[in-house]
A and B are shown apart, each in its own frame.
Chain A
């Protein structure tokens, strides 16, 4: 009988963070900037985003920062996200675990066309260096916006942030993030220019390794990503990324698509990335993809069903893995969300290795 290891893990195992939900683009509004201050989405909500949070939750409540109890001047936006999760993990050893995922505070100060954005919070510490590595500024950037307060226009950023690439999923374990060039905590010094309209958006990012600490992103390079909306309910996208280190480089090309079906209130999203790594004169191709269907139920419930596929090397048989996800989100109030996240992962459909799985209950509180 396999042993069942019951552990309650505090900070050691995993960290987490959250971006915006790409599930809301097209289903709730046209662009990420309709609800978020950042041109790539995620982090602080604008007024429309707060109203959406209230409207789609079961019990509503004042969606403003701290329920509106703390008023901030017009030039200052504050916020935060707290997440923790508990549940079952099989990889294939079995655990019952619980851990904090995210303790982030956000601030944005705006004057005319310029703004300064910071995300400060908890991170998984570096072993042996806990005192200096438990709290960090994951994002810190200055931004110039051609049309202050608008969701559209030209956005230029410089500082530390995640290169804009792909659909920008919340779920960092998704193959298209973990293996796809935007893994957890891979924010890095970067310069980006984004141009966003109701019909299309283009994001160009140049980035480099952060020399000030041991970063997750060890490469320098560039990313270009664009989305074009074919009407109100359909969107296609494409992008490319180049990453370079002194011992290797990677090329990435990808396609994305979204289709919202208003009748059944269903959103289909897909992201397919072809990865072309090179090392020591050996080049090969891998593939990471996800296809997700999201059903919006009345009263604050959202259900995601996804199929993910990752192939480390397309030339070699049985190196692929498939993940089947079923996530149920309950937006209880404007600030509280409960998520039941489940996945079963097969290696070459059982021929390539042990089967993995997890089932986690996650609590998310937005300040």
Chain B
């Protein structure tokens, strides 16, 4: 039996560039960087003082069912969902007993929320006194204070991010919900899981994507301690430079992107507009180290090869790769090796660009945002560039579409996402071909 075909019928986003897919893509085509000095707090004195923040007011719901949309995470994800469902034509309400609910699902990738620990600050003053005090900080007293302030639970809810997917389920009228995280691979992982839900017949329509709001007082220095972030504070737009010899780390970004994936027959039955098709997915794990990619790119390459196999395609069939391309020394070199190993003689001729050069690393929302970029690339026939390509790195010698967008008839695009912890996912997106069996 032929497996069910899965198509993209809705896209929506809240990214540092814009909360509109077309405007986001237009700015990427122009090579506009969204990286700048952090505004959510004063980062003076921190190693990394720059990020790709959402610097505009996000228009979205303030309450969804029982869930308040007050945190940055909830604001972003529900606003992105609103736009995605509108784009898909699925923003109408379903009756509570509508059997359609049983055919809908939400699968979200999310991670650490915005400011959980900071929100516990007021309690610490009452318990421990002046922050300059040398007195021993009494843990038991803190616990008792928290226990006597039940509202403290609400302060840490942001940490858990466990209301985001349920809120989307309420908006979408879905009877199934899951939340998952595989670090920086999460967004693509969400696509893969959603595709499999549809292929196995467990759902006809899945709202899937990711959200991440890590530009916080604690996470920024924390990632800097891992030597993961760029410290090019004096020139923010030039800081994210994947594959360039002078790259020195990634740029933290924030945002949320979502797509609606549908069984092709179900989409056609309701007359949905089809943006593109998921042709194949591949996953592999390094099982190597927590922070570093396996240096030969074994896991990355395996994910790409598995995606090609799943799609029934060969290396010559891929017209564009949206790279994971974080701008770290290790990742970009390993990804380059992995592409060469997977695509062989074709590697040098396949354009491969990194959107992270412009909107930084959206972590749990990265893979899905870049899948949207791939889909727009196919729709508009323009490959977005990798900006800040100035000095060639001998270890990174592929065609990274340097600095300027390129017109190209892209019918098949691969999106790569590789996570801290060694989880690697590749997704292949194609133009929708109605004549294909």
Are A and B part of the same complex?
A: no
- A residues with CB within 8 A of B: none
- B residues with CB within 8 A of A: none
